[in-house]
Structure 1
Amino acid sequence: MNNIPPLKKASEQLSLTEKVGQFFMPAAFINDTEKEIQHIENLVREQGVGGLCFFHSRASAATNFEGKKKVVHNAKSFDTLQGLIKRYQKASKYPLLIAIDAEWGLAMRIENTPQYPYAITLGAIQDNNELIFEVGKNIALDCKAAGIHWNLAPVVDLNNNPDNPVIGYRSFGEDKNQIVEKARAFIQGTQSEGVLTSIKHFPGHGDTATDSHLGLPLISKSKEALVENELYPFQKLMDEGVDSIMVGHLSVPALAEGKMTPSSISKAIIKGVLRKEMGYTGVVISDALNMHAVSKNYPVKGELEWLAFDAGNDVLCFSEHCPEGIQTILKKASEKQIEESFQRIWKLKETAIHITTSYSSSALKTDDELNIKLAHQSLTLFKGTKEALSEFYTTSFTGIQNSHNTDNQFFKTLSENKKFKHCTLNGTETISGENVLLALFPKQIKPAHNFGFTDKEITAINTLFRTKNVALYLFGNPYALNLFDTKNAKAIIIAYQNFTTFQKVASAHFLGQFEALGKLPVHL
């Protein structure tokens, strides 16, 4: 990798055009065609873009391609990523800042890489933030191995709307103080390995039922309410020192002088609230500029990039019109405005650009010992008692699961300790006995389409709750419980993840080997 000159020298050495190029962070796709790879190389070489944000593939990008193209899996995506980073770095005059979303590990973007629990799972852990520090540290080590400098995490949005289609499980919960504590631990763990973080999505994406990838969410709260709640984690963490803040695409009139302008292009919100009122002096990065909340309203190439920069964003993530954006900023911005953003970005680069440890995907290993500890600490007895569960495992019961496609390690592990019949729910079977141990594996983590449960499944599950003594273990998003009438359930235990480690820990809990220590971080 090319050496990065110190800020003073860079400020004198780079032309104004090269400085503006540093603001741009277009998307790069791990599984791309050679033609598209060469296109990115040309952007790096000819436009002098400052960094790249990596995604799995064009088909998996959540905005323009969601549901339209099949995501092709590549078992060697990690190795491909390593090769592409080296290739793009070689094409760049100055070192590129490489970013990725790895909120729960590289597995968020790359198959066959380590995965750690979602933020909502970590939010259930009580008074054990050392484990969350270790999660941040492990993810940072994996980022370094790939050649990534910047993990665009953690989410510090308050999870205060159960209908939120895009935040939900990505948030630590609804308690602002808990969010600060857990985000702080994650950030410190990440920074311990020299990897950058970014708290997001300012000014708070939690209380909306609109996905900003697809439309512009409206948050109609008063400024006082926002300052007390949504802005609180951002203020606390920035006061302690954060690498960067990502601004979301949100319409928040109370912060935008009564206007509906998206926060990502609002001077009132970024330069006014974030910089002037809250006192933030670090790097601001926009949420992806291809997202429909903003992109569909600015068809003139370069216009959105200019508006985002002029509003106060230093880094323009997922810019789709870099050449036009660079020229528009050069035409409209003052040299002072350009220099201020350049200096912030270059300081960040000096912090982040360092020699990384490189190893192949075969050496990447999820820390199962850590995941087991996380499973123990997060497992939540949501309803019922330990005594109610003991009535099940000391007598006979029938095990029922909701999907043929799930490798039910929960039942497999239980079978090693106790004999019981188990089957897959189809709505027509006859269940003998009164006691049912129900294992639910939601097919998807997002709430769209009832988390993947069919109407037939929901009806059959509600019939069980109405006619049997049911103890439920849920291996997925706890908001899925809202689909069911669980008032008659004898016990409900939330395991949050379907990892093998979490299923084994849940089986040990059912057998009475330990008590559930977690607490649900949201209200249902």
Structure 2
Amino acid sequence: MKELPTYNDAKTLLSPIQKIGQFFMPAAFINDTEDEIRALEDLIRDHGIGGICFFHSRASAATNFEGKKKVLRNEESFETLKSLIKRYQSVSKYPLFIAIDAEWGLAMRIENTPQYPYAITLGAFTGKKQLVYEVGKSIAHDCLAAGIHWNLSPVVDINNNPDNPVIGYRSFGDNREQVTQKALAYIKGTESPGILTSIKHFPGHGDTSVDSHPGIPVIDKSKKELTENELYPFQNIISEGVDAVMVGHLSIPALAKGKQEPASISKDIITDFLRGEMNFKGVVISDALNMHAVSKNYPVPGELEWLAYNAGNDILCFAEHVKEGIGIIAKNASENQLEETFERVWKLKEKAMGNPYQNKFKELSKSAALNWQIARESITLYHGTEADITEFSSETFCTLTLKRTLENAAHEEILTFLEEAKQEIKEEKNILLLLTPPKVKPANQFGFYQEEIDFINTILEEKNVVIYHFGNPYSLKLFDIKNSLATVLVYQDFTEFQDVATEHFLGKIKANGKLPVSLT
């Protein structure tokens, strides 16, 4: 990799236009075509952008709002990622920031890489902050193995709205202290081998029922209410020290002098409140500027990039109009504004490129042992008692597994399976139900067909049912859990979590976890 000049050298070495280029972080896609790869190389070469943020493909969830493009699996994604990073770095005059969303590991974007538990799982046990630290550290090792400098996580939103369509399982919980302490442990673990972090989604995306990918959520709370809850983790973590804050596409009128504009383009929220009142001195990065919450309202190329920059964002993530954005910023921004932004961005880049652990981690981390420890700490008895399960397991029971082998299994196949299951359990009194929701996100009933929901609720009413639930616990809202004999939350369907569930059912361990959110 090319050497990065010091800030003192760079501030005279780079022209104003070159400095502005450093503020841009367009998307890079692991599964792009050769033509698309060359187009990004040209963008890097011609406009001197400061960094790139990697996504799986142009059909992945973060960019495919309508869900009409099929996401293809690529078993070689990790090797492709490494080669693309080297390729893009080679055409850049100065080293690029390489960023990615790896909240629960590179597996969030890349096949065949270690996956660690979701934040909601890490929120299901008290204390044990060292486990969360180790998760952050392990993910950081994997970032280093790939050539990534910046993990755009953790989420520090307090998920106090059970109908939240986009945060949910990505949050450590609905308690401000729990979220703050778990996030700090994750950050410290990530930083230990030198990987940068960014807390998100400022000022807090937890109490929304709108996904800011397609639309703009409005949080109509007083400043006092926000300070006591949503802003609490941000303020405490800022006081401890953090590399960056990512600003979400959220309308918070109480922080914007009554205006209903997205926080990501609000000078009142970013410059006056975040930098002024909250005293944040680090880098501010926008949430993805391609998200329809903002992009659909600004069709003129470069206009959104200018608004986001002028509001106080230092780095424009997923900027789609780099050339035009650079031009408008160069025309409108003051020299002092540009220099302040450039200093923050370049000094953070110096920190990343000066990481002594770079090139020391070539292999991916081993997740099994850590995941097993987390599984034992997080498993939660949500309904019923340990005695209920012990008594149930001593009697004759039928095991029924509801887990899709294919997420998009044909409706007819599911109906056939349900008819067969009805016959199988017709004469059974006791049912052990191993339940894995098809999807982790709540859209379309977590992927469940209505017939599946009705089937489960029927057996809950008619049979003695013990449920072991391997997924996002919010999906339990679909079922009459009060009718179960017992319901145990396992949170993940990893092998290690399945093994721990078996130990629990056999009475070898107790369930000491606690659901970190309310389902009502």
Q: Give yes or no for TM over 0.5.
A: yes
Q: Distance in 2 between matches of 1:37 and 1:281?
A: 35
SS in 2 for 1:196: coil
Query: Does structure 2 retain, via aligned residues, the 8 Å contact 1:401–1:425?
Result: no
Q: Distance in 1 between matches of 2:404 and 2:25?
A: 42
Q: How far has the Cα of 1:489 moved from its partner?
A: 1.3
Equivalent residues in 2 for 1:37-436, closer than 5 Å? 37-64=37-64, 66-353=66-353, 354=355, 356-357=358-359, 363-403=363-403, 405=405, 425-426=418-419, 428-429=422-423, 430-436=425-431
Q: Distance in 2 between matches of 1:32 and 1:3?
A: 28
Between stretches 20-29 and 69-78, larger displacement belongs to: 69-78
Amino acid at match of 1:199: I
Q: Distance in 2 between matches of 1:68 and 1:454?
A: 19
Q: Distance in 2 between matches of 1:258 and 1:439?
A: 49
Instruction: Summarize the Cα distance change of 1:209–1:176 in structure 2 as closer, same or farther, 3 Å threshold.
Output: same
Matched, 1:461 2:456: yes
Between stretches 212-221 and 431-440, larger displacement belongs to: 431-440
Query: Does structure 2 retain, via aligned residues, the 8 Å contact 1:59–1:66?
Result: no
Q: How far has the Cα of 1:365 moved from its partner?
A: 4.7
Q: Distance in 1 between matches of 2:87 and 2:153?
A: 25
Q: How far has the Cα of 1:432 moved from its partner?
A: 2.6
Q: How far has the Cα of 1:424 moved from its partner?
A: 6.3
Equivalent residues in 2 for 1:496-515, closer than 5 Å? 496-515=491-510
Amino acid at match of 1:386: E
Q: How far has the Cα of 1:16 moved from its partner?
A: 0.6
Q: Distance in 2 between matches of 1:14 and 1:66?
A: 41
Query: Does structure 1 retain, via aligned residues, the 8 Å contact 2:372–2:500?
Result: yes
Amino acid at match of 2:399: G
Instruction: Summarize the Cα distance change of 1:425–1:517 in structure 2 as closer, same or farther, 3 Å threshold.
Output: farther
Q: How far has the Cα of 1:385 moved from its partner?
A: 1.1
Q: Distance in 1 between matches of 2:57 and 2:66?
A: 11
Cα deviation per residue 1:299-357 (whole Å; 9 max; x = unaligned)?
11100000000000000000000000001000000010000000000110111114633
Select 1:485's aligned residue among 480, 484, 499. 480
Query: Does structure 1 retain, via aligned residues, the 8 Å contact 2:142–2:364?
Result: yes
Query: Does structure 2 retain, via aligned residues, the 8 Å contact 1:401–1:424?
Result: no
Instruction: Summarize the Cα distance change of 1:274–1:404 in structure 2 as closer, same or farther, 3 Å threshold.
Output: closer
Query: Does structure 1 retain, via aligned residues, the 8 Å contact 2:65–2:214?
Result: no
Q: How far has the Cα of 1:66 moved from its partner?
A: 4.2
Q: Distance in 2 between matches of 1:404 and 1:291?
A: 30
Amino acid at match of 1:495: V
Between stretches 192-201 and 434-443, larger displacement belongs to: 434-443
Q: Distance in 2 between matches of 1:134 and 1:188?
A: 9
Query: Does structure 2 retain, via aligned residues, the 8 Å contact 1:177–1:233?
Result: yes
Q: How far has the Cα of 1:425 moved from its partner?
A: 4.5
Q: Distance in 1 between matches of 2:361 and 2:233?
A: 36
SS in 2 for 1:501: helix
Amino acid at match of 1:204: G
List runs of 5+ in structure 2 lacking aligned partners: 408-415
Cα deviation per residue 1:151-181 (whole Å; 9 max; x = unaligned)?
0000000111111111000000000000010
SS in 2 for 1:470: strand
Amino acid at match of 2:85: I
Query: Does structure 1 retain, via aligned residues, the 8 Å contact 2:202–2:245?
Result: yes
Q: Distance in 2 between matches of 1:508 and 1:359?
A: 34
Amino acid at match of 2:259: K
Q: Distance in 1 between matches of 2:260 and 2:200?
A: 20
Query: Does structure 2 retain, via aligned residues, the 8 Å contact 1:398–1:431?
Result: no
SS in 1 for 2:483: coil
Cα deviation per residue 1:36-84 (whole Å; 9 max; x = unaligned)?
1111111111100000000011011423454121111111111111111
Q: Percent identity?
A: 61
Cα deviation per residue 1:450-493 (whole Å; 9 max; x = unaligned)?
11111111111111111111111000010111001122211110
Query: Does structure 1 retain, via aligned residues, the 8 Å contact 2:142–2:365?
Result: no
Between stretches 56-65 and 92-101, larger displacement belongs to: 56-65
Select 2:518's aligned residue among 511, 520, 523. 523
SS in 1 for 2:482: coil
Q: How far has the Cα of 1:431 moved from its partner?
A: 3.1
Amino acid at match of 1:301: P
Number of residue pairs the alignment of both structures matches: 507
Q: Distance in 2 between matches of 1:6 and 1:365?
A: 32
Instruction: Summarize the Cα distance change of 1:325–1:331 in structure 2 as closer, same or farther, 3 Å threshold.
Output: same
Query: Does structure 1 retain, via aligned residues, the 8 Å contact 2:27–2:319?
Result: yes
Amino acid at match of 2:495: T
Cα deviation per residue 1:283-306 (whole Å; 9 max; x = unaligned)?
000000000000000011100000
Matched, 1:495 2:453: no
Instruction: Summarize the Cα distance change of 1:400–1:320 in structure 2 as closer, same or farther, 3 Å threshold.
Output: same
Q: Distance in 2 between matches of 1:68 and 1:488?
A: 38
Partner residue of 1:11?
11
Q: Distance in 1 between matches of 2:339 and 2:404?
A: 58
Amino acid at match of 2:144: K
Cα deviation per residue 1:388-437 (whole Å; 9 max; x = unaligned)?
10011111111112235289xxxxxxxxxxxxxxx964463243332111
TM-score (structure 2 length as normaliser): 0.95
Query: Does structure 2 retain, via aligned residues, the 8 Å contact 1:379–1:495?
Result: yes
Q: RMSD of the TM alignment (CA)?
A: 1.5
Q: Distance in 2 between matches of 1:333 and 1:404?
A: 53
Instruction: Summarize the Cα distance change of 1:406–1:290 in structure 2 as closer, same or farther, 3 Å threshold.
Output: closer
